[in-house]
Amino acid sequence: MDLISPSNGLLSWQVGTAIVMMGYLAFMIYALVDLIRSDFREQHMKLIWVLLILSVPVVGTFLYLSMNRRIKYKLRRFNPDFSSHQTTTK
């Protein structure tokens, strides 16, 4: 009867696969949101990364997440302007 009704081992494989796929889907959504919100050095790079993430899902997602700091602008949050600083002398 094992051929007709699956045993508990098959159910655990299915649950495990579902958990792994949900985890990967979360990584893919994070990569796409980060891609949309970021600025790149070259304008066409955003389109290339979207196509790569969607056409080669596993490789494209983890490649983007590992290389994204090298291809994006390095934005500084704190950028003081010291050129207009005047010194007072007595």
Q: How far is CA 28 from CA 14, 45, 54, in A?
A: 21, 17, 9
Average of per-residue pLDDT across 45-55: 92
38, 30 in Cβ contact below 8 A? Answer: no
Residue 53, pLDDT > 90, answer yes
Task: Read off the pTM.
Answer: 0.65
- Would you say how long the chain is, in residues? 90
3-state secondary structure of 24: helix
53 contact partners, CB below 8 Å, separation of at least 6: 28, 31, 32, 35, 60, 61, 64
Predicted local confidence at residue 52, as pLDDT: 93
Q: Give CA–CA dist 75/38, Å, rounded.
A: 10
Q: Give CA–CA dist 28/64, Å, rounded.
A: 10
Predicted local confidence at residue 83, as pLDDT: 74
Predicted local confidence at residue 12, as pLDDT: 82
